[in-house]
């Protein structure tokens, strides 16, 4: 039994090892000078300062970063962030986008990262890269 356990542990150790020269996937993403670390739930601005995110802002940013360049309707955003369908005239997601824009946009009144697509929803327009 001890030998079997030792062999199992050795196999498991080898399967989780990275090949020489390979770097671990940190899950961190970068966009417009910002760094997003979902494992640590951290957002760092271009100057290196951590920016606090509410749970809703974290979920919304995660959804946008997973789908850059894709137009997402209010209904889709509500479903992806909260798991619920929007009711007519529900502006909750608009308020959430507005709060997130105030944190990440240079000029929230003229957004460049999260753009509004009239009649469609929102699109994350910044280039997203994995670190």
The residues near 112 (Cβ < 8 Å, ≥ 6 apart) are 32, 105, 106, 125, 126
pTM of the model: 0.77
d(CA 89, CA 114): 21
Closest CA to 51 of 70, 32, 72, 26: 32
Whether the pLDDT of residue 3 is over 60: the answer is yes
Whether the pLDDT of residue 17 is over 80: the answer is no
The residues near 97 (Cβ < 8 Å, ≥ 6 apart) are 60, 77, 114, 122
The structural domains of the chain, with segments of one domain joined by +, span 26-130
Whether the pLDDT of residue 33 is over 70: the answer is yes
Q: What is the pLDDT of residues 35-83, one digit of tens each?
A: 999 999 999 999 999 999 999 999 999 999 999 999 999 989 988 988 7
Which CATH number is 26-130's, of 3.40.50.720, 2.40.128.50, 1.10.10.10, 2.40.37.10? 1.10.10.10
Model confidence band, residue 2 (pLDDT cutoffs 50, 70, 90): confident
d(CA 108, CA 26): 29
């Amino acid at each position: 039994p001890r030998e079997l356990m030792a062999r199992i542990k050795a196999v498991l150790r080898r399967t989780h090892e990275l090949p020489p020269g390979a770097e671990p996937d940190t899950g961190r993403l970068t966009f417009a000078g910002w760094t997003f670390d979902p494992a640590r739930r951290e957002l760092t601005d271009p100057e290196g300062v951590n920016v606090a995110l509410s749970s809703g802002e974290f979920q919304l940013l995660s959804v946008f970063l997973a789908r850059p360049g894709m137009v997402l309707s209010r209904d889709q955003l509500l479903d992806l962030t909260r798991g619920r369908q929007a009711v007519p005239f529900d502006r909750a997601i608009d308020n959430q986008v507005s709060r997130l824009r105030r944190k990440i946009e240079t000029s929230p009144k003229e957004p460049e990262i999260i753009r509004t697509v009239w009649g469609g929803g929102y699109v994350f327009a910044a280039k997203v890269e994995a670190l």
